Amino acid sequence: MTKLPRTFYDRDTTVVAQDLLGKWLVRQSAGVERIGRIVEVEAYLGEHDLAAHSSKGLTERTKIMFGPPGHAYVYLIYGVHHCMNVVTECEGHGAAVLLRAVEPVKNLAGRTQGPGLLSRAMGIDRRLNGHDLLNDDFFIAEPAAAEKIAIVKRPRIGVDYAKHWAKRRLRFYIKNNPFVSRP
DNA sequence: TGCACGATGAAC
DNA sequence: TTCATCGTGCAC
């Protein structure tokens, strides 16, 4: 596999989101390598996107989203679950891609369909917030044998408060993949 | 300093 | 459909 370069993330967020499908999320921890194949994502386009955390402006919580691309934005939701995002586009843009589900490839125990479950299975928590995905212990890679996939586009989950942005089809997943959280 | 509210998941 | 559970952001 080949680790994705910074330039991969420094592009239009809807393009990055769809290109992330089929890629491998790799986590090295305590001598164990865990790998999940990304099968479902959501794009959060920036300050103007009412569903994005960055629409609240630059705050202590969102500063990672406004930082340089290729970094992990990890936050606690509902006081219970962790959500893993990848920062995209240029510094200051406030865009990111939420990873919603992965398909187990290596050393993954339990379910991985849903942002919270994915994070739990991969051992991701707030300590990884701001982590540079070009490091060797936590990154995203292109598999050695890339296959062709069909992409389905749907509205994002849990963002009904975001007015017309709630209707935008910014959730992408691999067609017919059994590990998608909400087909 | 207090308080309302989630980019969810699991139980009922 | 309801609830657990807590950090963040903003009102006071």
Interatomic CA distance for residues A70 and A4, integer angstroms: 9
Q: How far is the CA of A60 from the C1' of B3 (A)?
A: 19
pTM: 0.97
Residue A34: per-residue pLDDT: 98
Protein-to-nucleotide distance from the CA of A77 to the C1' of B4, whole angstroms: 15
Instruction: Specify if A182 maps to a domain.
Output: no
Inside any domain, residue A151: yes
CA dihedral A21, A1, A94, A127 (to 10 degrees): 110
C-alpha dist (Å) from residue A52 to A65, A127, A152 = 10, 21, 21
Domain presence at residue A164:
yes
Question: What pLDDT score does A27 carry?
Answer: 98
The DSSP result for A55-101, as a single string, is: GG-S-TTTTTTTS-SSBEEEEEETTTEEEEEEEESSTTS-EEEEEEE
Distance A99 CA to C4 C1' (A): 23
- Residue A179 domain flag: no
Range of the domain at A45: 2-174
Chain B nucleotides close to protein (CB under 7 A) are: 6-10
pLDDT at A145: 85
Residue A101 inside a domain? The answer is: yes
Residue A183, domain member (yes or no): no
Examine residue A181 and state whether it is found in any structural domain, yes or no. no
Total of domains in chain A: 1
Residues with CB under 7 A from strand C: A 53, 56-57, 59-62, 75-76, 78-80, 126
Q: What is the pLDDT of residue A146?
A: 78
Structure tokens at A144: 């050695």
Name the nucleotide with the smallest C1'–CA separation from A116: B8
A46 within some domain: yes
Question: Nucleic chain B: which protein residues 31-70 of A have CB below 7 A from it?
Answer: 42, 44, 51-54, 65
Give me the tens of pLDDT residue by residue for chain A, a chain 183 residues long. 999 999 999 999 999 999 999 999 999 999 999 999 999 999 999 999 999 999 999 999 999 999 999 999 999 999 999 999 999 999 999 999 999 999 999 999 999 999 999 999 999 999 999 999 999 999 999 999 878 999 999 999 999 999 999 999 999 999 999 999 999
Residue type, A56: K
The CA distance from A91 to A63, in Å, is 10
Q: If we measure between CA atoms, which residue out of A2, A6, A173, A5 comes closest to residue A89?
A: A6
Query: What is the domain-level CATH number for residue A110?
Result: 3.10.300.10
